[in-house]
Amino acid sequence: MNPKEPLSQPRTTESMPRFLRLPAVLLATGLARSTLYRMVAEHTFPAPVKLARRAVGWCDDDVRQWSLRRLNKSR
């Protein structure tokens, strides 16, 4: 690293995607687990992202956008 090069700005957590685990998604949406996975299979709810070998999560922005679309459809 060249000491004359400017240091890059550290990444803020705002620019990083936030992942929700299943209990948080169920709480945020009010859906049952079986309904959530049925909707994922029907492509009517965002699919989870694989975080590790045995862990998945949903992107917070995707869940939020889905909720807003549902709210707008109901009005």
pLDDT digits (tens, 9 = 90+) for 30-67: 999 999 999 999 999 999 999 999 999 999 999 999 99
The per-residue pLDDT for 75 is: 85
What angle do the packed helices 60-74 and 22-29 form, to 10 degrees?
20
Q: Which amino acid is at 52?
A: A
Over range 6-22, report the average pLDDT: 76
Distances (CA, A) of 25 to 9, 18, 19, 56: 32, 12, 10, 11
For residue 64, count other CB atoms closer than 10 A to its CB.
Answer: 13
**What residues does each domain of the chain span?**
19-74
Residue 45: which of 73, 22, 67 has the closest Cα?
67
